[in-house]
């Protein structure tokens, strides 16, 4: 069954019920009144900061775009790109592309103009639909987009080089276009993080997308009574595939634009949110705000909040122990996945396994996993190897890149690029990305292990460990330490704290700086290597600094 059938079903069964709410908290704060007060004020600007959509309208908007694309000559298998910030239009546009039989190509909103052009060319996109935040970037490249046949603009103040998506779609039929789809039809292209160069295009089928719905709902038990808070960018598989649990259960979701701790808590309280998916930095910020007194939990009604889960990057056990201190009744889950496995859930901790915090967990619903050596052979229990997964969400291929596909796919198994080990109970623990392993004096050092250790220090907000060149040892481990606001930490404090680590794992350099993370929460280690790795000089200048 193609995933679009779930949307059509929800429109039939729950058409008048609200399914999506977009909240722009920054605008709401500027007006300095409650949402309820806004709704009571005549001619209020509530639509500026809060918008709702029903399942029927969602389905109709998807149908209108599908019919528009078909009218413009888009055929089954053609590629249509989306470049939007999270907004109420995002998901109807995505499903409209699928209903037309086309392949949706979501683009990272942080891409430069050059990266946008690269991804459009690589994916063979024929249409680009973009929002107001990207006008200047598209303006610099649209003359060179030879494969693009139409530029649709969603928003006010349309640029002259694009057509109005809103006006054109409004004049199209809201009836389903009737394009026949199968499970094996191509559905979406997602792009890898591109941490080692330009990203690769990851092709998924309808079967793959549908499998994510069932995996997510099986893991977190969404029912019609749930309300899911979605904060991460929808271009990424993680956020959207977690929302797929809401799609399958026919339940509500809120798209929150903004990540301030008080915004998250206010939304959970006033929208009666039951499930929140956070990235590590946001969970850390929320806990820091509680501990500093910047927010007070008693100011919010959080009684209905039943589940917090985290994914997209390794989760420090110390973070979850802190979380449970303030939210002891929350269910918790760690979700592991990658774009090549259609987002989260190919491995997950499971809400029943809280005592195993630190592990990424066991194979998810419908999935298998194993730890293998360079020859794809399983390694003995407890030994480190590369994690491989197999299941219904595995990508079809890297689009137009058979060599890269062959390097990671074999007999239905996908090599993840993550080094891991498995304990006697079958729980999998990540030790690091294969490309991030530091080899110092012949010893393998896995940065994630050191990062988790450092984050347990009371003054450490975040930590990243990278390899820096060394004439004698080849590489040495350098720790970039981000200190909690208002706290004091010195190089000597960190060195004393690390004395319980084996000597070869202790960072040789301590650098106090911010830890950069991308929109999905992953540490941007290439940026740190570029900043500190060329000669290591900057590190020497900063490593003895006292931060307060």
- For the segment 191-222, what is each residue's pLDDT rounded down to a tens digit? 986 544 578 999 999 999 999 999 999 999 99
CA angle centred on 234, ends 233 and 235, rounded to 5°: 95
Q: Is residue 292 part of a domain?
A: no
* Residue of higher predicted confidence among 125 and 48: 125
Q: What is the pLDDT of residue 28?
A: 58
In three state form, how does the secondary structure of 215-269 look? HHHHHHCCCCCCEEEECCCCCCHHHHHHHHHHHHHCCEEEEEECCCHHHHHHHHH
Q: Are residues 232 and 177 in the same domain?
A: yes
CA dist., res. 533 & res. 328, Å (int): 42
Structure token digits, residue 192:
């890898």
CATH code for position 516:
3.30.300.30
Q: Are residues 148 and 250 in the same domain?
A: yes
Domain boundary among 218, 240, 258: 258
Q: What is the pLDDT of residue 535?
A: 42
Confidence of residue 100 (pLDDT cuts 50, 70, 90): very high
Q: Mean pLDDT across the chain, nearest whole number?
A: 88
Q: What is the pLDDT of residue 441?
A: 62
Q: Are residues 162 and 23 in the same domain?
A: yes
Domain boundary among 227, 258, 289: 258
Cα within 13 Å of Cα(486), Cβ side: 6
Domain that holds residue 217: 4-258
Over residues 312-318, the mean pLDDT reads: 73
Q: Is the pLDDT of residue 454 over 80?
A: yes
Q: Is the pLDDT of residue 543 over 50?
A: no
Q: Are residues 384 and 533 in the same domain?
A: no
Q: Is residue 266 part of a domain?
A: no
Q: Is residue 363 part of a domain?
A: yes
Query: Which segment of 100-104, 417-421, 468-472 scores lowest on mean pLDDT?
Result: 468-472
Confidence of residue 503 (pLDDT cuts 50, 70, 90): confident
Q: Is residue 285 part of a domain?
A: no
- The pLDDT tens digits for 373-404 are 989 999 999 998 999 999 999 999 999 999 99
In this structure, the number of other CB atoms found within 10 A of the CB of residue 227 comes to 22
Over residues 485-514, the mean pLDDT reads: 90
Over residues 437-455, the mean pLDDT reads: 79
Q: Are residues 452 and 401 in the same domain?
A: no
Q: What is the pLDDT of residue 546?
A: 38
Structure token digits, residue 195:
């941490």
- The pLDDT tens digits for 130-140 are 999 999 999 99
Closest Cα partner for 372 from 360, 361, 359, 383?
383
Q: Are residues 216 and 349 in the same domain?
A: no
Q: What percent of the chain stands above pLDDT 90?
A: 67
Q: Are residues 195 and 253 in the same domain?
A: yes
Q: Is residue 268 part of a domain?
A: no
Over residues 291-305, the mean pLDDT reads: 95
- Number of structural domains in the chain: 3
Q: Are residues 486 and 410 in the same domain?
A: no
Domain boundary among 405, 433, 461: 433
Q: Decide: 410 and 397 in contact? Cβ < 8 Å.
A: no
Q: Is residue 318 part of a domain?
A: yes
CATH code for position 200:
3.40.50.12780
Q: Is the pLDDT of residue 32 over 90?
A: no
Q: Is residue 169 part of a domain?
A: yes
Query: Which segment of 119-133, 156-170, 497-511 scores lowest on mean pLDDT?
Result: 497-511
Q: Are residues 478 and 396 in the same domain?
A: no
Q: Is residue 101 part of a domain?
A: yes
CATH code for position 356:
2.30.38.10
**What long-range pairs does 456-460 form, CB within 8 A, spacing at least 24?**
456/316, 456/318, 457/489, 457/493, 457/494, 457/497, 458/487, 459/483, 459/484, 459/487, 459/488, 459/489, 459/493, 460/484, 460/489
Give the predicted TM-score (pTM) of the model: 0.82
Q: Are residues 419 and 457 in the same domain?
A: no
Q: Are residues 100 and 150 in the same domain?
A: yes
Over residues 158-185, the mean pLDDT reads: 96
Confidence of residue 30 (pLDDT cuts 50, 70, 90): low
Number of residues that make up the chain: 548
User: Directed axis angle between helix 206-220 and helix 237-249, to 10°?
Assistant: 70
* Residue of higher predicted confidence among 41 and 345: 345
Q: What is the pLDDT of residue 536?
A: 43
- The pLDDT tens digits for 349-371 are 999 998 998 899 999 999 999 99
Q: Are residues 343 and 473 in the same domain?
A: no
């Amino acid at each position: 069954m193609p995933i679009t059938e779930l949307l059509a079903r929800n429109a039939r069964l729950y058409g008048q019920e609200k399914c999506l709410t977009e909240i722009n908290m920054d605008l709401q704060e500027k007006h300095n009144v409650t949402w309820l007060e806004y709704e009571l004020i005549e001619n209020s600007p509530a639509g500026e900061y809060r918008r709702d959509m029903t399942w029927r309208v969602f389905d109709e908007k998807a149908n209108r775009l599908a019919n528009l694309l078909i009218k413009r000559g888009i055929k089954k298998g053609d590629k249509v790109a989306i470049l939007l910030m999270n907004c109420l239009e995002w998901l109807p546009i995505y499903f409209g592309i699928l209903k037309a039989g086309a392949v949706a190509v979501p683009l990272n909103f942080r891409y430069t103009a050059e990266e946008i052009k690269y991804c459009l060319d690589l994916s063979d996109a024929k249409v680009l639909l973009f929002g107001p935040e990207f006008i200047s970037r598209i303006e610099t490249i649209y003359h060179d987009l030879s494969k693009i046949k139409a530029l649709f603009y969603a928003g006010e103040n349309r640029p002259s080089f694009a057509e109005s998506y809103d006006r054109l779609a409004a004049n199209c039929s809201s009836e389903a276009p009737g394009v026949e789809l199968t499970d094996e039809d191509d559905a979406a292209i997602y792009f890898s993080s591109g941490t080692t160069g330009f990203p690769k295009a990851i092709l998924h089928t309808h079967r793959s997308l549908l499998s994510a719905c069932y995996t997510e709902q099986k893991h977190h038990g969404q029912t019609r009574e749930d309300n899911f808070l979605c904060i991460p960018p929808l271009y990424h598989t993680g956020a959207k595939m977690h929302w797929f649990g809401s799609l399958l259960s026919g339940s509500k979701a809120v798209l929150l634009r903004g990540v301030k701790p008080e915004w998250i808590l206010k939304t959970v309280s006033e929208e009666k949110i039951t499930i929140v998916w956070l990235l590590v930095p946001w969970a850390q910020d929320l806990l820091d705000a509680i501990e500093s007194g910047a927010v007070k939990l008693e100011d919010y009604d959080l009684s209905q909040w039943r589940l917090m889960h985290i994914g997209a990057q390794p989760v420090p056990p110390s973070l979850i122990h802190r979380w449970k201190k303030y939210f002891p009744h929350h269910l918790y889950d760690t979700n592991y996945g990658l774009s090549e496995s259609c987002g989260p859930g190919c491995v997950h901790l499971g809400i029943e396994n809280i005592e195993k915090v630190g592990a990424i967990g066991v194979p998810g619903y419908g999935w298998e996993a194993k730890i293998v050596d360079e020859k794809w052979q399983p390694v003995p229990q407890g030994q480190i190897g590369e994690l491989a997964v197999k299941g219904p969400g595995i990508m079809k291929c890297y689009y137009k890149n058979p060599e890269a596909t062959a390097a990671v796919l074999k007999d239905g198994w996908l090599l993840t690029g993550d080094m891991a080990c498995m304990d006697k109970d079958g729980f999998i623990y990540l030790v690091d990305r294969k490309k991030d392993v530091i080899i110092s004096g012949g010893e393998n050092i896995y940065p994630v292990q050191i990062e988790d250790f450092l984050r347990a220090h009371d003054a450490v907000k975040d930590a990243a460990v990278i390899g820096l060149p060394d004439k004698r040892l080849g590489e040495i481990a350098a720790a970039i330490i981000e200190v909690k606001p208002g706290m004091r930490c010195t190089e000597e404090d960190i060195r004393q704290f690390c004395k319980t680590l084996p000597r070869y794992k202790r960072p040789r350099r301590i650098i106090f700086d911010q830890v950069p993370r991308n929109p999905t929460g992953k540490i941007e280690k290439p940026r740190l290597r570029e900043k500190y790795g060329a000669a290591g000089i900057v590190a020497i200048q900063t490593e003895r600094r006292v931060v307060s």
